[in-house]
């Protein structure tokens, strides 16, 4: 069993708007700056450029539950799972929840750093989608 850390952010837009934004791969570069330097699509396959090279990104299928999970497959073949959910909290408010899994080879210090980076990414997500409210 892997250690986990779950973090959330309250976003002042509808859950549907937040979900649509999260499911768009091109938007990763706007908020997931802890790992995503750029995004590109080649032959219907999405890739992100990270500090460790290119990774394939694949999102969960569109669904009514607002599950916005995505997987990153590194050049080494290692797959990193990123569970995310958007939960309605009123008409124009939602919670974006993300869970970080700790691989067995990651130190306590690095896991704390990864958690801090995830918190920063979610704060950036909040700022970005609230600024874009009405355009989504």
- Whole-number Å distance between alpha carbons of 72 and 37: 14
Count of residues making up the chain = 136
Pair of tokens at residue 76: 């080494």
Task: Please give the C-alpha separations between residue 65 and each of 45, 62, 68, 95, 126, in angstroms, as whole numbers.
Answer: 24, 9, 9, 13, 20
Classify residue 26 by burial, with Cβ atoms within 10 Å: 0-12, 13-18, 19+. exposed
Give the count of beta carbons closer than 10 Å to the beta carbon of residue 57. 21
Q: Which pLDDT value is given to residue 70? A: 95
From CA 115, how far away is CA 100, in angstroms rounded?
A: 7
pLDDT in the model for residue 33: 95
- The pTM score is 0.90
Q: How many helices (H) and strands (E) does the chain have?
A: 3, 8
Are the C-beta atoms of 136 and 129 separated by less than 8 Å? yes
Low-confidence ranges of the chain (pLDDT < 50): none
Q: How far apart are CA 23 and CA 85, in angstroms?
A: 11
């Amino acid at each position: 069993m892997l250690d986990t850390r779950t973090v959330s952010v309250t976003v002042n837009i509808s859950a549907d708007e937040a979900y649509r934004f999260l499911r768009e791969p091109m938007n990763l570069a706007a908020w997931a700056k802890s790992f995503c330097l750029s995004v590109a699509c080649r032959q219907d396959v999405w890739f992100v450029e990270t500090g460790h090279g290119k990774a394939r990104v694949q999102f969960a299928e569109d669904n009514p539950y607002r599950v916005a999970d995505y997987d990153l497959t590194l050049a080494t073949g290692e797959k990193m799972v990123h569970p995310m959910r958007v939960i309605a909290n009123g008409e124009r408010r939602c919670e974006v929840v993300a869970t970080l899994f700790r691989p067995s080879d990651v130190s306590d210090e690095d896991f704390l750093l990864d958690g801090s980076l995830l918190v920063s990414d979610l704060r950036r997500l909040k700022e970005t989608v609230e600024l874009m409210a009405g355009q989504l």
